Amino acid sequence: MSSPSDLLFTDSHEWVRIEGDSATIGITAHAAESLSDLVFLDLPEAGDDVTAGEGFGEIESVKAVSDLKSPVGGEVIEANTDLPDNLGDINSDPYGKGWMIKVKHTGTVDGLMDAAAYDAHVAAEG
């Protein structure tokens, strides 16, 4: 399955949709599938700062607790507050209803992969 071509990706399986200075962030279909049954999601609040490459929240499945790493730095302008109560959306619609935060990003966006590179990364991870 190929990833959406309008998104950029981290090697830790987050996606980001850049629209001007707005960046919408979530986790990939591959990540959601690997985590399996999700039980808990902790997101930052609007107004919090996030740093590229550092954690912005955590996601817990029956298997593991994982940090969510931000692909970009900036200020959180909106968090998907409905999502912690509808974790199934992350599995069923990871690039749509499964979005997690919107960030007003500052600085350059770099070190991210396009869809083809990310799919190759997933294939290489096995």
Partner 1 sequence: MTYVQNTDEDRAEMLAAIGVASVDELMEVIPPDCRFTGDLGVGRGLTEPEITRHMRELADKNIAPDSHPSFLGAGAYRHFCPSLVDNLVARTEFWTAYTPYQPEASQGTLTTIYEFQTLICRLTGMEVANASVYDGATAVIEGVMLSLRSVRKSNRVIASRGLHPDTIAVLKTYLRHIDVELVLIDLVDGATPAEAVAAVGGEGVAAVAVQSPNFHGVIEDVGALSEAAHGLGAKSIVSVDPISLSVMEAPGKLGADVVCGEGTGMGNEPWYGGPGFGFLATLMENVRQMPARIAGETTDHDGNRAVVLTFQTREQHIRRSKATSNICTSQQLMALRATIWASLLGKHGFEELGRVNLSRAHYAADALCKLPGFELAFPGQGFFKEFCLKTPKPAAEINAALLEQHGIIGGFDLGRIDPALDHHWLVAVTDVNDKQEIDALVAAVGAL
Positions in the binding site for partner 1 (CB under 8 A): 40, 42, 45, 60-65, 67
Q: Which C-beta is closer to partner 1: that of 65 or that of 116?
A: 65
- Shortest separation between residue 114's beta carbon and partner 1, angstroms: 30
Please answer whether residues 100 and 28 qualify as being in contact, where contact means their C-beta atoms are separated by less than 8 angstroms: no
Q: Which C-beta is closer to partner 1: that of 60 or that of 119?
A: 60
Q: Is the dihedral of CA 72, 97, 115, 14 positive or negative?
A: positive
Q: Which C-beta is closer to partner 1: that of 48 or that of 119?
A: 48
Q: How many Cβ atoms sit within 10 Å of the Cβ of residue 68?
A: 25
- Shortest separation between residue 68's beta carbon and partner 1, angstroms: 12
* Phi, psi dihedrals of residue 5, rounded to the nearest 5°: -80, -10
Classify each residue of 6-28 as buried b or exposed e, where b means 16 or more C-beta atoms within 10 Å of its C-beta: ebbbbeebbbbbbeeeebbbbbb
- Shortest separation between residue 1's beta carbon and partner 1, angstroms: 27
- Shortest separation between residue 69's beta carbon and partner 1, angstroms: 12
Q: Which C-beta is closer to partner 1: that of 21 or that of 67?
A: 67
